[in-house]
Amino acid sequence: MAAAPTGPPSPAKGRPRSAAADRAILDATRAALAELGWGGLTMGHVAERAGVAKTTLYRRWPSRNELAVDAVADLFEDLEIVDLGSLQADIEAVVQRFAALLSRPETQAALLALFAEGTRDPLLRRRIREAIVDPQKELVRCGRARAQERGELPPDADEAAAREEVDLIFDTIAGTVEHRILVSGESVGEAWIHRFTTLLLAPLSGLSAGRPAQRP
C-alpha cells in the first residue's frame, strides 16, 4: 500500500481576495470618474491604474456599473449616527460628517457622474438605491428609534406611516445638504447645520429648539 503524501496540503481552489487590491481598484475607479467622467470610465483603464490584471477586476466586479456603484458607496461606509443624548445632536453630528464628505472634490465628481448616468439607466438607478441610498436610510431609522427610546418621539402607531416618515426625513436631509453643496456651492458650517436641524425637527413633538447638552 502506498504511503500517504507527506508534502504540504494542496491549496484551496481560487485565490482569496486581497484587501489591498480592492482598495486600489475602488480608489482608481473614483479617480477615473472624477477625471474622465462616466464616458471615459473603462474596466481596462481602472485595472491599469490600480496595477491589477483585468481578470482580477472582472472576478470582483462583473460590470462597470457594479464597480462604479461600489466605488462611490465605499465613500459612505464610515458614516454613522452616534448617540449624543438627543435626536438633534445626533442628526447635527451626522450632517456635519456628510457635508464634509460631499465637500471633497473627488466625492463631488464621482457622485455627480454616477447619478447623472443613473438618470438614463433604470438598472443602475436601482443599484444606486440599494447600495448607497438604502444603507444611509438606516441611519435615519436608527436615530429615530433611539429618540423613541429616550421619549423624544412617540412610538410608531402605523408601520407604513413610519416608513414614509423615514423616507421623508432622509430625502429632506440628503436633498438639502446635497443641493447646498453640489448645486449652490455654499458652505455648510455649524451654525447652518443647527438652524437646519432646528427647522427640520421643530414640528416633531417633545423636541427643544435649543442645542441639547452632549454626553461627556
pLDDT, tens digit (0-9, with 9 covering 90-100), for 124-171: 999 999 999 999 999 999 999 999 999 999 999 899 999 999 999 999
As a whole number, the mean pLDDT across the chain is 86
Q: Which element (helix H / strand E) includes 34?
A: helix 19-40
At 180 the pLDDT is 96
Rg, Å, the chain Cα set: 22
pLDDT at 175: 95
| Residue 119 DSSP one-character state | T
pLDDT in tens, 28-54: 999 999 888 898 999 999 999 999 999
Q: Determine if the pTM surpasses 0.85.
A: no
162 φ, ψ to 5°?
A: -65, -40
